[in-house]
Amino acid sequence: MTSLSVDETIARAVEVLRENDQGAYTIPTKGLYPFQWNWDSCLTALGLAHYDEARAWTEIETLFAHQWPDGMVPHIVFHVWSDGYFPGPEVWRTGRPTATSGITQPAVAGFAVRRLFDRASDKTLAAERAGALLPKIDAWHRWFYENRDPKSEGLVAIIHPWESGRDNSIDWDDAFERVPTEGVEPYIRRDILHADPAHRPTREQYDRYLWLLQHFRGLGWDNARLHDASPFQVVDPGFNAILIRASADLADLAEALGEAEIANANRARAKKGLAAMERLWSDAHGQYLCLDRITGKLVGSASVGGILPAFAAIPESRAAAIGATVQRLAGKARHVVPSHDPDDPRFDAKRYWRGPIWLVVNYMIADGLMAAGESHRRERIRRILRSIQRRTLWGRPVHLDSRHGAGVPAKRLAGVCNGEHYTPKSPSHTI
Ligand code: DGY
């Protein structure tokens, strides 16, 4: 593979973003993902900001324009009709004015908005746009703790694997056994028309995704009931760490904008969440693990979800242990951090979140390790990220086979082109 210069890489990143830009929102990729996805969009905004700050704010505002009255921000907004994706709005049937899905996704918005604000060259515009988003993001954070942490433990559960963004992670396998498949309405998958079925979740997993969707739909998408009624309730450390980091970032931003109440509420959420994260730590694995809220047990599955907490202000000793785990993984895989430990017999180098490397989570891990002072590991991750991003933009792969580094051709994903590693304007911010 010919290697690209930094300028060429930036040009290609911009090309991919423009290709997926729908005017007021960005689709993750043509074909496979033809609508607006929640966390993809927030991360994409960071890339857009490098050449159009106003457009970057619009990206997040469009998403929040479809926030539910209870505060939830849905994982998909179906702005336009397209028969290229399943399950579409006719399956979700959430009854929203513009159709949306009925579940949520990792809460990266608070982090993204703070970063947009910090890097903005137009500070007046940034204060105005961030100020209007603040109460909406705060309402979403409140929604999480009210609806997904019923015992007020400081950690929220996901009730559908799609909420994690790591759709078919090995983390969900055991809890997924409890999800029945009887009564699932007949369906035709569209994803495998766009991507190699060997890289996608299995049919059995799809049956379970669909069973949960139908179950929640049968409960009228009433968020006050869904958590307790779900046979799948998993506390994902990565998901919680993103929410904790976003809460801390929102608190800082609110302080800067003179919104003391929002600042205090988010500071308190972050503090409680960080303390509660200790329950998920595993010395044996050198990382955090998922907690199955129904069995009350930690899930013995070493995925990137347990390394991602480096993104939040976890204790120094935990960050150092995670740094050592990343180093250990680097000895086994050509690139780090793979979505799952290659030593696990269930590791599957090409199947979506069961082995391949994903740029966006590595970006967050590196950002966190940098803040924790794990600088030599951060340097290694930074170099690896550059090489991955160049490969990613060269062809069409979005994730990489972690053992050999071969691209898994899937899509030109806008979220990976967030340009964070190549900003010519502010090299000190690059990771
Ligand atoms: C999919 O359909 O593949 C998505 O990840 C669900 O959001």
Please report the pLDDT score of residue 426 as a whole number: 26
Mean pLDDT of 218-233: 98
- Collapsing DSSP to helix, strand or coil, 350 comes out as coil
- For residue 423, what pLDDT band results from cuts at 50, 70 and 90? very low
pLDDT of residue 31: 87
- Taking residue 196's Cβ as centre, other Cβ atoms within 10 Å add up to 12
User: pLDDT, tens digit, for every residue of 256-308?
Assistant: 999 999 999 999 999 999 999 999 999 999 999 999 999 999 999 999 999 99
Give the number of the atom of ligand 1 that is nearest the alpha carbon of residue 86: 2
Question: Which is higher by pLDDT, 331 or 73?
Answer: 73
| Index of the ligand 1 atom closest to the CA of residue 200 | 3
Residues 6+ apart with CB under 8 A from 398: 29, 358, 359, 392, 408, 410, 411, 412, 413, 416
Question: What local confidence, expressed as pLDDT, does residue 178 receive?
Answer: 97
Q: What is the DSSP string of 151-199?
A: T--S---BSSHHHHS-TT-GGGHHHHTTS--TTPPP---SHHHHS-GGG
* pLDDT above 80 (res 146): yes
Per residue in 349-402, pLDDT (tens digit) is 999 999 998 888 988 998 898 888 766 666 666 666 666 566 555 444 456 666
Segment 49-53 shows an average pLDDT of 95
Q: Distance (Å, rounded) from C-alpha 149 to C-alpha 161?
A: 17
User: Does 413 have pLDDT greater than 90?
Assistant: no
Strand pairing report for 397-400 and 407-409: antiparallel
- The pLDDT assigned to 10 comes to 85
Residue 429 has what pLDDT? 26
Res 366: pLDDT? 87
The ligand 1 atom at the shortest distance from the C-alpha of residue 37 is: 7
**pLDDT confidence band for 5 (50 / 70 / 90):** confident
Question: Is ligand 1 within 6 A of the CB of residue 200?
Answer: no
Mean pLDDT of 212-227: 98
Q: Tokens 């007021």 identify what position?
A: 24
Helix (H, G, I), strand (E, B) or coil at 100: strand
Q: Which of 56-65, 189-198, 354-363 has the highest mean pLDDT?
A: 56-65
The reply to whether ligand 1 has any atom less than 6 angstroms from the CB of 167 is yes
Say yes or no: CB of residue 40 within 6 Å of ligand 1. Answer: no
Work out the mean pLDDT of the chain and round it to a whole number: 89
**Burial status of residue 166 (CB atoms within 10 A of its CB: 0-12, 13-18, 19 or more):** buried
The three-class DSSP label of residue 407 is strand
Ligand 1 center–CA 366 separation, angstroms:
25
Report the C-alpha gap between 176 and 228 in whole angstroms: 16
Location of structure tokens 């609508």: 35
The Cα 108–Cα 217 span in angstroms is 26
CB of 78 within 6 A of ligand 1: the answer is no
What is the residue whose two structure tokens read 């035709």?
188
**CA dist., res. 171 & res. 39, Å (int):** 20
**Helix or strand holding residue 76 (H, E):** strand 76-77
pLDDT at position 335 is 77
pLDDT given at position 410? 45
CA of 188 to the centre of ligand 1 (A): 14
**Nearest atom in ligand 1 to 75's CA:** 7
- What percent of the chain is predicted at pLDDT more than 70? 86
